[in-house]
């Protein structure tokens, strides 16, 4: 068998791209007898010495868990078993809880101009300096270690490159795969900004049906299989697909997650019909246990150990079954750390990373050093590396699960739900819920959704109609009777509950008034 490689799927434009390094030194052959100087001095790089940087050190003050400053513990229970989520502690007194998995390290780290541990720590002298296109070495190494631990690829020759977030990563993936007229399969409801990246590369998006129902894996496998088997008849004049773009875990907007078994079936199609898979996974680490009636506190015991989480909760990436190196995985720190960092990374075969690196050198150069410095050093110094970082993710996971429970409970308690006008799909990961409106048979869905959004505005609640995230509106109208909800931005549980009440009251009113 030949070595796994993605080379044949890389766009002609990306394959032809050159690099240019004018400071590399002579390009002609050395004269006879040339001997390199043992200690050459730099009068060539146009980079300012770090002594010109006005920042000498940066102190970063951190919390132990999300919402630490707004949570409190009811101390009526001397065993300190729970965290109040409302902030209204019964005893009136609050204390800092001894959290499971909490770091014993100080809550503050200092980043200095020079560090003695250059392998792990990014100091100011290197972090704020010109640096490699693929990212600063300690952070690049962290991303490799992190992927080894969470989603180890099924082949050897893979690597990572730091990006300016998933949005940037997606653009780079589209650019290195798609030539003009190349076709890319896309889940029919999707993160639509990606369509602009596809268009920019000259690609043609083709929607793939989704099954938006409880327990579904998302992509309609029968539809996709038939489409690929009968491509020439169904899509005359279009090239066979070069790639599939999928948000396999906590899909945006549906919230659906593909099981590992399902991923294997999709992957087999990718091998059979020779297309790449762009796996966009901003939400995958935020796995959620099934819905349960929410409590007014978080049980500390619900924090998993890292081992349990990796073994039984995290759905393995397509990378883990990628024996032919055709998966490009897009990661981001936006949802796990903070979106304003504009920081993420890509995992793929070295040839794909090389093509992405050449494109990055052209469009974004290297990612923000400040962001790399903060993320890397917080993870290393505060959390102590990969497992400590995963423990922070577990704390986010519990908080998100609670919020999901609060929102679904508010919907379950509503008239509209009891009247079966609405339904929800309990997400297994992420921050999105499909809120389904059961319009009567024969309803003009487009018209009713258009009216409902005004009803939601009247009742004071913001939602995203699924149809706004369709690749092709006409293709998807029959399956568009849903809205995307999210419990991510709310300040408090009360806000989520009130949002759920307004949402369902709006639908009830809509049905009461004869739609």
Least Cβ distance, residue 266 to ligand PLP (angstroms) = 17
Binding mask 365-394 for ligand PMP (x = CB under 6 A): x-----------------------------
| Tokens read off for 282 | 């901003």
Cβ distance to ligand PLP smaller for residue 109 or 147: 147
Instruction: Sheet with 464-465: list strands edge to edge.
Output: 422-425, 432-437, 482-486, 464-465
Residue 166's binding partner among ligand PLP, ligand PMP, none (Cβ under 5 to 8 angstroms by kind) is ligand PLP
Least Cβ distance, residue 362 to ligand PMP (angstroms) = 12
Q: What three-state secondary structure class fits 418?
A: helix
Least Cβ distance, residue 118 to ligand PMP (angstroms) = 22
User: Which letter, b or e, does each residue of 152-174 get, where b requires 16 or more Cβ atoms within 10 Å of its Cβ?
Assistant: ebbbeebbbbbbbbbbbbbbbbb
Least Cβ distance, residue 192 to ligand PLP (angstroms) = 10
Report d(CA 468, CA 461) in Å as an integer: 17
Binding site for ligand PLP (CB under 6 A): 165-167, 191, 247, 252, 280, 282, 332, 334, 339, 344
Residue 46's binding partner among ligand PLP, ligand PMP, none (Cβ under 5 to 8 angstroms by kind) is ligand PMP
| Tokens read off for 43 | 């009068």
Residue facing ligand PMP at closest CB distance: 46
**Nearest 5°: CA angle at 18, between 15 and 19?**
130
Least Cβ distance, residue 363 to ligand PMP (angstroms) = 12
User: Which letter, b or e, does each residue of 460-496 get, where b requires 16 or more Cβ atoms within 10 Å of its Cβ?
Assistant: ebebbbbbbbbbeeeebeebbbbbbbbbeebeebeeb
Cβ distance to ligand PMP smaller for residue 372 or 399: 372
DSSP codes of every residue in 123-185:
-HHHHTS---TT--HHHHHHHHHHHHHHS--SSS-EEEEEESSHHHHHHHHHHHHPPTT-EEE
Residue 445's binding partner among ligand PMP, ligand PLP, none (Cβ under 5 to 8 angstroms by kind) is none
Per CB under 6 A, 46 contacts ligand PMP: yes
Cβ distance to ligand PLP smaller for residue 91 or 193: 193
Helices (H), 434-492: 445-459, 473-476
Cβ distance to ligand PLP smaller for residue 111 or 469: 469
Per CB under 6 A, 42 contacts ligand PMP: no
Report d(CA 40, CA 45) in Å as an integer: 12
Least Cβ distance, residue 272 to ligand PMP (angstroms) = 44
Q: Phi then psi for 268, rounded to 5 degrees?
A: -60, -35
Report d(CA 272, CA 326) in Å as an integer: 12
Least Cβ distance, residue 47 to ligand PMP (angstroms) = 8
Residue 380's binding partner among ligand PLP, ligand PMP, none (Cβ under 5 to 8 angstroms by kind) is none
Residues with Cβ < 8 Å from 229, sequence gap 6 or more? Answer: none
Q: What number of helices (H) and strands (E) belong to the chain?
A: 16, 17
Residue 115's binding partner among ligand PLP, ligand PMP, none (Cβ under 5 to 8 angstroms by kind) is none
Residue 348's binding partner among ligand PMP, ligand PLP, none (Cβ under 5 to 8 angstroms by kind) is none
Least Cβ distance, residue 169 to ligand PLP (angstroms) = 7
Binding mask 341-370 for ligand PMP (x = CB under 6 A): ------------------------x-----
Count of positions on this chain that bind ligand PMP (CB under 6 A): 2
Contact footprint for ligand PMP (CB under 6 A): 46, 365
């Amino acid at each position: 068998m030949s070595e796994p490689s993605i080379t044949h799927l890389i766009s002609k434009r990306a394959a032809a791209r050159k690099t240019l390094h004018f400071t590399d030194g002579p390009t002609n052959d050395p004269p006879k007898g040339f001997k390199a100087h043992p200690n050459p001095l730099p009068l060539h790089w146009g980079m300012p010495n770090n002594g010109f940087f006005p920042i000498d050190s940066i102190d970063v003050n951190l919390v132990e868990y999300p919402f630490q400053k707004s949570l409190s513990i009811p101390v009526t229970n001397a065993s300190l078993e729970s965290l109040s989520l409302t902030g209204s502690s019964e005893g009136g007194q609050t204390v800092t809880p001894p959290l499971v998995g909490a770091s014993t390290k100080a809550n503050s780290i200092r980043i200095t101009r020079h560090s003695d541990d250059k392998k792990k720590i990014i100091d100011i002298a290197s972090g704020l300096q010109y640096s490699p296109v693929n990212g600063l070495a300690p952070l690049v190494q962290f991303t490799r270690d992190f992927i080894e631990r969470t989603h180890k690829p099924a082949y050897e020759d893979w690597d990572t490159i730091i990006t300016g977030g998933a949005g940037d990563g997606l653009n780079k993936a589209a650019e290195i795969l798609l030539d003009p007229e190349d076709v890319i399969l896309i889940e029919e409801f999707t993160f639509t900004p990606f369509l602009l990246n596809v268009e920019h590369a000259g690609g043609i998006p083709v929607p793939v049906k989704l099954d938006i129902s409880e327990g579904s894996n998302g992509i309609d496998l029968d539809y996709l299989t038939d489409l690929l088997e009968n491509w020439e008849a169904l899509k005359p004049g279009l090239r066979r697909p070069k790639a599939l773009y999928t948000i396999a875990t906590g899909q945006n907007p549906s919230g659906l997650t593909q099981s590992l078994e399902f991923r294997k079936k999709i992957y087999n199609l990718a091998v059979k019909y020779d297309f790449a898979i762009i796996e966009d996974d901003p939400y995958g680490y935020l796995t959620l246990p099934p819905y349960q009636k929410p409590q007014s506190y978080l049980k500390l015991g619900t924090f998993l150990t890292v081992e349990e989480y990796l073994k039984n909760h995290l759905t393995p990436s397509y990378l883990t079954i990628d024996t032919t190196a055709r998966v490009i995985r897009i990661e981001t720190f936006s949802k796990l750390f903070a979106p304003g960092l504009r920081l993420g990374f890509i995992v793929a075969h070295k040839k794909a990373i090389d093509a992405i690196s050449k494109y990055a050198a052209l469009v974004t150069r290297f990612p923000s050093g400040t962001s790399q410095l903060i993320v890397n050093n917080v993870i290393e110094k505060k959390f102590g590396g990969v497992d400590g970082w995963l423990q922070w993710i577990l704390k986010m996971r519990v908080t998100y699960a609670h919020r999901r429970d609060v929102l679904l409970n508010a919907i379950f308690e509503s008239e509209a739900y009891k009247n079966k006008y609405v339904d929800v799909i309990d997400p297994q990961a992420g921050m999105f819920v499909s809120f389904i409106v059961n319009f009567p048979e024969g309803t003009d869905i487009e018209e009713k959704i258009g009216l409902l959004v005004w009803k939601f505005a009247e009742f004071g609640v913001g939602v995203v109609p699924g149809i706004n995230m369709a690749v092709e509106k006409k293709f998807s109208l029959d399956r568009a009777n849903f809205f995307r909800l999210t419990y991510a931005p709310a300040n408090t549980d009360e806000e989520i509950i009130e949002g759920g009440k307004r949402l369902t009251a709006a639908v009830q009113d809509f049905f009461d008034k004869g739609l």
